Amino acid sequence: MIIKKLYLDPFMDMCNREILSYRIFQYPSADNIMRALN
């Protein structure tokens, strides 16, 4: 069995705790976080 990790980058509205956008990646990086913002 092969286990792989995924990284979730969610962006949440702090007033109503709603998820505005998110991205899922196989590795963490600053570029992936910036893509989730767009």
pLDDT value at residue 14: 92
In a domain, 2, yes or no: no
What's the domain count of the chain?
1
Ramachandran angles phi, psi of 35, nearest 5°: -65, -35
pLDDT value at residue 15: 94
Mean pLDDT across the chain, nearest whole number? 85
**Range of the structural domain that residue 11 is part of:** 7-37
pLDDT in tens, 2-16: 998 999 888 899 999
- 20, 11 contact by CB (below 8 A): yes
> What angle is formed at CA 21 by the lines to CA 11 and CA 14, rounded to 5 degrees?
35
pLDDT value at residue 35: 74
In a domain, 1, yes or no: no
Residue with tokens 């992936």: 32
